[in-house]
Structure 1
Amino acid sequence: MPIVNPRPAILPELDGLRAVAAYGIVATHVAFQTGAGSAVLERFDYFVAVFFALSAFLLARGGLRDGYYSRRVARLVPAYVVCVAVVLLALPPLAGVNASQVVANFLLVQVYVPHALIDGLTQMWSLCIEAAFYLVLPLYLRLTARGRRIALAVSVALGLAWPWAVSGIADPAVVNLQIWPPSYAPWFAVGLVLAELERAGVRYAGPRWPFPLLALPVAWIAGVIGPRGLAHPDPLEFNVRVLLGAVFAALIVAPFALGQRVAGTWLSSSRMRTLGHWSYSVFLWHMAVLYFVFPVLGVDMFSGHFVVVYAATALASTAVAYVSYELVEVPGARLVRQATAKHAAKTQNSDHPA
């Protein structure tokens, strides 16, 4: 049967896990721009896989809800559009961007447009991938249990085949076909499988702390075998990177998604849950914040000082995220929901005239 059951309550610790993922992503970008040279920190981009798995798990566990697409728009678009507009106006390197780059970034299609991943907004590539997942998820949720299992297997196989299929077609410095949505099916599959396991009654009652510790050597192995930095991986290297990212995400997310509901933990604390609420805006703004942190601290890029640059970037990004959440995310989402509700009411009235 398709998934139609009411949405279960959100697990408090997963809010805290969102915060961990957001600041992990900040760490990997700071590590690169300070030239930290850490194999582990270079692969902290695997926290993108954690975000993908979390999104898939939370959206799939409760089934398809009325107004699914309008809810996704309300959640993502207001804060994203404001961030893009401000960054385009504020960052000096973006003074010369062309119209196609601007339009691509506002429409969240920059991974598909030549040279559209631009300073201060390069991290948005992953949001493009997540938006593609949101578009197709309802199709998955309408399938029977057997259909979902087949869809998962096919999507993962397609994801692993994709880098080979597009190898050599385009210059990755112009349009990187390797990072298009099919490649990341294994990362979303982690969350979808966890949702299926939870629905089947699978629970984990053991300690959670060993699993994040096991995730660290996974990131280290991925960083060591490379390629390091921004070197473009060949299809095999890319598949290995994605599969290790899936393992990393599973180790981080699974013990909390399937674990017992434990009150009073660090991740479920009010502070971590608040940071979890702000995590989307932390993700949106941190690259632009990082651009200004270097001159403010008087530190050159690639000259080290990871700890101080990370601390400044994390603190400043948190402050900006708070403002974004309170003044843009929450009221923006409310406006979108109100607008879509009015539109739905008008449509219903027009379909059933008095």
Structure 2
Amino acid sequence: MHPSPVPTSPSPSPSPSPRAPGLDLLRAIAIGVVMLYHLSSHGIDVSGPGRHGWMGVDLFFVLSGYLIGWPVLRDLAVGRTPDWAGFVAGRAWRILPAYLAVLALYLALPAWREAGTMPPAWQFLTFTMNVLPDHLTQRAYSHAWSLCVEEHFYLLFPLAAWLLARRGRMPGVLATSAGAALLFGAGMLLRDWEWRHAIAPHLAPGGDAARAVAGYVGRIYSPTWTRVDGLLAGVLLAALRAFRPAWWTRVLSHGWVLLGAGLALLVAATRVDVLGRGGAVFLYPLVALGCACLLLGALSPCTPLGCRALPGIRVLARLAFSLYLTHRQVVAWLDGVAGDVAANAPFAAFVLYNGASLAVAALLYVAVERPGLRMRRGMARRLPDALAG
């Protein structure tokens, strides 16, 4: 089992928006499998997602890499300067209100935590809890590690693009691909080094399996520098669309092939030993490639996923962030008040746990997340006038 951590386009074709049906479907799938993965540690084990649902986080990474990379690279591809101030403000209003509200709940209601202790608050406020993890003793709100990875990406990717643009050396898709290949390779080498020094000694006969898992989480699974594969894959898709729109259109014309390839790659990833050396080195690039293929297939106008919204999917996609933040805390609280319901009535527990998680996420969305999104939209309208003044 995997250790528990825990928009004008140069393209001649219609531009999929961040609320495109295929993107919403992938968001819904990602949060769904993550929730099922976490439920497996509460006596509700759903075959497949219960064991491999951690891949939903990697799907979120690919989505973020594409959706954040596309507007930045689109502007640079046509010679425009991206709205850097708007980018930073928009990301802050998107992430911080709900994230900080849930952090406050963790600090104020320790009895509701999924684990007894959590990292100090300053690590959450500085988005450094993923680089200083103590998986053995500080496991509450540990799923926030992925937000730390994304926050680091929000800072470093635009900064790198801005520096290259200022030097007049903004790369095209081929140079971007070469740079990404170097980063992929560096990540694999780093994970190999970490596996040999921090994990392998504990997997030897007589070793401590718990320390092997803790070492894996702290040295390979959580740190930003070992988990950029999905984000890089998403940025590469954005670069392809921005710099080679004709290639992008041709790629999307093979939507069914891409969906099949993505599923095949993810199925293959389920056969990889996560704690083994091959898993440490190759698993995350494999999952990132599979998720990238799914993203392309979901954007393709040749598949129903790219042009037809399924009932309820948009709602689930809108709640995905709030669900991700709160579901572990909700399930932990229900464990305390519902007794042995998971053991005695697993289907009822499945409905109860997921229904309660949806209700709490909807409350957080309505009370905190949606007002933050409205303020972000209002700021986006006011910012150009303020800058012009």
Identify the residue that residue 163 of structure 1 maps to in structure 2: 191
Q: Distance in 2 between matches of 1:57 and 1:306?
A: 38
Using a 3 Å threshold, how does the CA distance of structure 1 residues 269 and 219 change in structure 2: closer, same or farther?
A: closer
Deviation by residue 1:45-100 (Cα, 9 ceiling, x = unmatched): 111111111111112222264121111111111100001111232232769747x6
The alignment-based identity, stated in percent, is 22
Shift of 1:297: 3.5
1:218 Cα deviation after fit: 4.6
Moved more, 338-347 or 85-94: 338-347
TM-score after normalising by structure 1:
0.79
Structure 1 residue aligned with 2:356: 316
5+ unaligned residues in a row in structure 2: which ranges? 1-6, 74-81, 200-210
- The correspondence of residues 239-254 of structure 1 with structure 2, limited to 5 A, is 239-254=281-296
Q: 2:55 aligns with which of 23, 42, 46?
A: 46
Show the counterpart of 2:228.
185
What is the CA–CA distance in structure 2 between the aligned matches of 1:21 and 1:318, rounded to whole Å?
A: 15
Q: Which amino acid aligns with 1:75?
A: R
Give the letter aligned to residue 91 of structure 1.
Answer: P
Unaligned runs of 5+ in 1: 228-232, 350-354
- Is 1:130 the equivalent of 2:150? yes
Map of 1:230 onto structure 2: none
In 1, Cα distance between the equivalents of 2:111 and 2:194?
34
Q: Counterparts of 1:263 and 1:253 in 2: how far apart (Å)?
A: 10
- TM (norm. structure 2) is 0.73
**Size of the alignment, in residue pairs?**
338
Alignment deviations for residues 184-240 of structure 1 (CA, whole Å, 9 cap, x no partner): 2221222122223334232334564x766765665454444424xxxxx25432123
CA RMSD of aligned residues (A): 3.7
- Please give the alpha-carbon distance, in whole angstroms, between the structure 2 residues aligned to 1:111 and 1:131: 11
Verify the 8 A CA contact 1:109 1:128 in the aligned structure 2.
Answer: yes
- CA distance in structure 2 between the aligned counterparts of 1:217 and 1:96, rounded to whole angstroms: 39
Q: Distance in 1 between matches of 2:363 and 2:126?
A: 23
Aligned to 1:112, the other structure's residue is in SS state: coil
- Greater Cα offset, 174-183 or 3-12: 3-12
Partner SS for 2:54: helix
Matches within 5 A, 1:29-108: 29-34=38-43, 36=45, 38=47, 41-63=50-72, 65-66=82-83, 67-92=86-111, 97=117, 101-108=120-127
Establish whether residue 144 from structure 1 lines up as the match of residue 171 from structure 2. yes
Query: C-alpha separation between the residues in 1 aligned to 2:377 and 2:46?
Result: 45
Separation of aligned partners in 1, 2:386 and 2:42: 51
Higher normalized contact order (CA 8 Å, seq sep 6+, divided by chain length): 1
Structure 1 counterpart of 2:357, one-letter code:
S
For the pair 1:173 / 2:204, whether they are aligned, the reply is no
Distance in structure 2 (CA, Å) of the matches to 1:110 and 1:310:
30
Alpha-carbon distance in structure 2 between the residues aligned to 1:107 and 1:341: 29
1:47–1:249 Cα contact (<8 Å) kept: no
